[in-house]
């Protein structure tokens, strides 16, 4: 309908719509639906009934019931439980999630986190932006992880709200930095320590692989299959894992040195003054001399090139809780596993953006 009010109607018919179940029984409502010959547009249209879902065979509250159930179960399970078609459940859940976003309102973030998300094989990426103060994702889109795709977020946010951003947490991907510097000029850029430590973990793994390639025979047995043991935090290891780590570090001097350097680098995030943090880093970098750890030397050079985004972590106002980012990434991975093979990217977008919102 175009919204014009009419006192008469063109014709009418009875329609059966499904409503909330009661006591395990399916409930259907029989309602009279009228059509109106609109004087404004000249078309015959069905009257608008606000209590119906977008699919007029269901009430809106039934659609929200289905959407709420889908927060903790798969579409297939809910379809079998309620005796509905799989596609009908999916569309009802999408309507529920769209209403969640509408009620959440337009975001005006001050501190944001930017990350790329692989949605399928073949380096197909989308950009995920989160409000780190309210701890919820606020934008999912782009065609890749290019500067143009990052620009799309700031354009959607608008110049005024983009200018109000004071801190942006990201990895060291140049297109993200360039776009942020252009659209949010006053925002400080902080490199996510989880991404930084991941680069250090990759450097340690390269040392492990080079040592495995260098050794022969029985000497390899200490290194083989110990990737997780080296990269995991010591407190996360089982008793057997701790024994394997102790044996590995005692058997290989270079891996022992690389492991200790990796563990000590985490101290960088505890400094409150950038000058002290820089002094620590220079000492850490100097300890690489004569160690023949090329992957670590390349890592140190990368940190030196991006020092401003790392030193920003020393500022008290930049001490944001980054654990939310890792928690969100875990939730997204669960969503992707559940939606395996699903080609509807709009569904994935709604699912991610509403994962931290309260139920209706």
Q: Take residue 340 and report the two structure tokens written for it.
A: 């395996």
Residue 286: is its pLDDT beyond 90?
yes
**Band of pLDDT at residue 111, cut at 50, 70 and 90:** very high
Judgement on whether residues 300 and 199 belong to the same structural domain of the protein = yes
Q: Determine the Cα–Cα distance for residues 177 and 172; give it in Å rounded to an integer.
A: 8
For 289-346, the pLDDT digits (tens) are 888 899 999 999 999 999 998 988 888 787 777 777 777 878 888 887 776 656 788 8
Q: Of 127, 115, 137, 113, nearest to 187 (Cα)?
A: 113
Judgement on whether residues 157 and 232 belong to the same structural domain of the protein = no
At 341 the pLDDT is 56
Judgement on whether residues 205 and 312 belong to the same structural domain of the protein = yes
> Mean pLDDT, to the nearest integer, of 63-73?
91
Whether 312 is covered by a domain: the verdict is yes
At 109 the pLDDT is 93
Judgement on whether residues 334 and 302 belong to the same structural domain of the protein = no
Judgement on whether residues 244 and 305 belong to the same structural domain of the protein = yes
Total tally of structural domains belonging to the chain: 3
Each residue of 324-351: b (16+ CB within 10 Å) or e?
Answer: bbeebeeebeeebeebeeeeeeebbbbb
CB-side exposure of 256: number of CA atoms within 13 Å? 10
Judgement on whether residues 140 and 235 belong to the same structural domain of the protein = no
Query: For 9-18, 26-35, 186-195, which range has the lowest pLDDT when averaged over its residues?
Result: 9-18
Whether 223 is covered by a domain: the verdict is yes
Query: In DSSP terms, which residues pair with 59 in a beta bridge?
Result: 52
Judgement on whether residues 204 and 271 belong to the same structural domain of the protein = yes
For 164-177, the pLDDT digits (tens) are 999 999 888 899 99
Judgement on whether residues 97 and 133 belong to the same structural domain of the protein = no
Judgement on whether residues 168 and 19 belong to the same structural domain of the protein = no
User: 65, 81, 104: which is the final residue of a domain?
Assistant: 104
How buried is 235 (Cβ within 10 angstroms: 0-12 exposed, 13-18 middle, 19+ buried)? exposed
Residue 140: is its pLDDT beyond 70?
yes
At 2 the pLDDT is 62
Judgement on whether residues 207 and 266 belong to the same structural domain of the protein = yes
Q: Determine the Cα–Cα distance for residues 175 and 150; give it in Å rounded to an integer.
A: 8
Q: Take residue 267 and report the two structure tokens written for it.
A: 């101290």
Q: Is 127 helix (H, G, I), strand (E, B) or coil?
A: strand
Alpha helices, H only, 184-322: 193-214, 227-231, 239-251, 253-265, 274-286, 294-305, 307-311
**Band of pLDDT at residue 213, cut at 50, 70 and 90:** confident
The range of the structural domain enclosing residue 18 comes to 11-104
Whether 5 is covered by a domain: the verdict is no
At 275 the pLDDT is 92
Residues whose CB is less than 8 angstroms from the CB of residue 53 and which lie 6 or more positions away in sequence, other chains included: 59, 60, 62, 63, 92, 95
Whether 3 is covered by a domain: the verdict is no
Q: Distance of alpha carbon 40 from its chain centroid, rounded?
A: 46
> Mean pLDDT, to the nearest integer, of 66-74?
90
How buried is 151 (Cβ within 10 angstroms: 0-12 exposed, 13-18 middle, 19+ buried)? middle
At 64 the pLDDT is 93
At 101 the pLDDT is 94
Judgement on whether residues 75 and 94 belong to the same structural domain of the protein = yes
Q: Is 301 helix (H, G, I), strand (E, B) or coil?
A: helix
- Look over the chain and give the mean of its residue pLDDT values, rounded to a whole number: 86
Q: What are the two backbone dihedrals, phi and then psi, of residue 140, each rounded to the nearest 5 degrees?
A: -140, 120
Whether 244 is covered by a domain: the verdict is yes
Residue 1: is its pLDDT beyond 60?
no
Whether 247 is covered by a domain: the verdict is yes
Whether 4 is covered by a domain: the verdict is no
CATH of the domain at 332: 3.30.420.10
> Mean pLDDT, to the nearest integer, of 346-359?
90
Q: Is pLDDT larger for residue 45 or for residue 254?
A: 254
**70 near 78, Cβ under 8 Å?**
yes
**Band of pLDDT at residue 106, cut at 50, 70 and 90:** confident
Judgement on whether residues 84 and 62 belong to the same structural domain of the protein = yes
**Band of pLDDT at residue 6, cut at 50, 70 and 90:** low
> Mean pLDDT, to the nearest integer, of 30-58?
81
**150 near 162, Cβ under 8 Å?**
no
Whether 6 is covered by a domain: the verdict is no
């Amino acid at each position: 309908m175009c919204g014009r009010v009419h006192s008469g109607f063109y014709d009418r018919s009875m329609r059966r719509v499904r409503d909330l179940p009661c006591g395990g029984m399916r409930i259907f409502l029989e309602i009279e639906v009228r059509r109106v010959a609109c004087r404004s547009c000249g078309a015959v249209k069905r009257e608008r009934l606000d209590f119906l879902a977008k699919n007029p065979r269901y009430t809106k509250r039934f659609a929200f019931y289905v959407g709420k159930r889908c927060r903790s179960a798969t579409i297939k399970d809910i379809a079998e439980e309620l005796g509905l078609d799989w596609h009908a459940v999916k569309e009802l859940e999408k309507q529920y999630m769209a209403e969640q976003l509408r009620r959440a309102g337009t975001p005006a973030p001050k501190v944001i986190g930017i990350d790329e998300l692989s949605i399928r094989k073949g380096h197909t990426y989308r950009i995920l932006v989160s409000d780190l103060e309210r701890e919820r994702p606020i934008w999912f889109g782009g065609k890749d992880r290019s500067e143009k795709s990052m620009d799309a977020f700031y354009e959607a946010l608008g110049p005024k709200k983009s200018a109000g951003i004071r801190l942006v947490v990201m990895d060291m991907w140049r297109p993200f930095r360039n776009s942020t510097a252009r659209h949010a000029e006053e925002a400080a850029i902080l490199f996510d320590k989880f991404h930084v430590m991941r680069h250090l973990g990759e450097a340690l793994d390269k040392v492990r692989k080079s040592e495995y390639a260098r050794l022969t025979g029985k000497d390899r047995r200490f290194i083989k299959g110990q990737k997780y043991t080296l990269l995991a935090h010591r407190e996360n290891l089982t008793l057997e894992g701790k024994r394997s780590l102790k044996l590995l570090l005692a058997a290989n001097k270079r891996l022992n040195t690389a492991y200790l350097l990796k563990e000590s680098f985490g101290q960088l995030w505890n400094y409150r003054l950038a000058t002290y943090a820089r002094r620590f880093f220079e000492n850490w970098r100097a300890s690489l001399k004569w160690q023949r750890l090329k992957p670590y030397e390349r890592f140190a050079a990368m940190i030196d090139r991006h020092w401003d985004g790392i030193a920003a972590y020393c500022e008290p106002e930049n001490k944001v809780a980054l654990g939310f980012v890792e928690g969100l990434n875990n939730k997204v991975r669960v969503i992707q596993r559940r939606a395996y093979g699903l080609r509807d990217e709009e569904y994935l977008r709604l699912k991610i953006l509403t994962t931290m919102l309260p139920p209706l």
